[in-house]
Amino acid sequence: MTTLHNTRTAGRTYVQKATLAVGAVFLLVGVLGFVPGITSQYSQLQFAGHDSGAMLLGLFQVSVLHNIVHLLFGVAGLALARTATGSRSYLLFGGAIYLVLWIYGLVVDQESAGNFVPLNGFDNWLHLLLGIGMIALALILTRGRTNRAR
């Protein structure tokens, strides 16, 4: 019982703090995608598809589905930040998902039905940075740790 108590009161690891921050940012972005003004052309927001003309911060094409994905990624980050192992997994696998999404965004015709999220050039390059950044956080913040806090 003492060990569990000490683990809980010892504070969060750096990887947990990073995961909390990443999750909170995803939640914020998901919410902001539904805010007129921050999302320009809000009246053109559609559930999914390349026809959604809504643009988060005037740069990133969004849809209801895109915003929901951000919200879910945020919730997952906050939930998995409860442990260092969960945090590392979230950052590694989430980063890998964003790298796959970056590649998908490069190869899919942006005017096709395959661009269902939707994605544009700004989204694609942001996904590359997110993928690299999340994986780097997972590896750097857990480097040399053999006994991760649960």
Could you tell me if residue 50 is inside a domain? yes
Could you tell me if residue 24 is inside a domain? yes
Could you tell me if residue 3 is inside a domain? no
Segment 134-140 mean pLDDT: 98
Could you tell me if residue 146 is inside a domain? no
Domain that holds residue 31: 13-141
Could you tell me if residue 66 is inside a domain? yes
Per-residue exposure over 8-47, b if at least 16 CB sit within 10 Å of its own CB, e if not: eeeebbebbebbbebbeebbebbebbbeeeebeebeebee
* 10 pLDDT above the threshold of 80: no
**Cα 65 from Cα 55, distance rounded (Å):** 13
Could you tell me if residue 118 is inside a domain? yes
Q: What is the pLDDT of residue 4?
A: 32
> Model confidence over 90-112: pLDDT tens digits?
999 999 999 999 999 999 998 88
Residue type, 84: A
Q: Give the pLDDT band of residue 144 (cuts 50, 70, 90).
A: confident
| Token pair of 149 as six digits | 């806090």
* 139 pLDDT above the threshold of 50: yes
**Cα 61 from Cα 122, distance rounded (Å):** 8
- Domain tally for the chain? 1
Task: Please list the alpha-helical segments (H only) found in 1-150.
Answer: 2-9, 14-32, 64-80, 84-107, 121-141
Burial of 143 (0-12, 13-18, 19+ CB in 10 A): exposed
Could you tell me if residue 8 is inside a domain? no
Burial of 77 (0-12, 13-18, 19+ CB in 10 A): buried
Residue type, 47: F
Instruction: Establish whether the linkage from the previous residue to 118 is cis, with ω within 30° of 0.
Output: yes
Could you tell me if residue 62 is inside a domain? yes
Burial of 2 (0-12, 13-18, 19+ CB in 10 A): exposed
* 120 pLDDT above the threshold of 80: yes
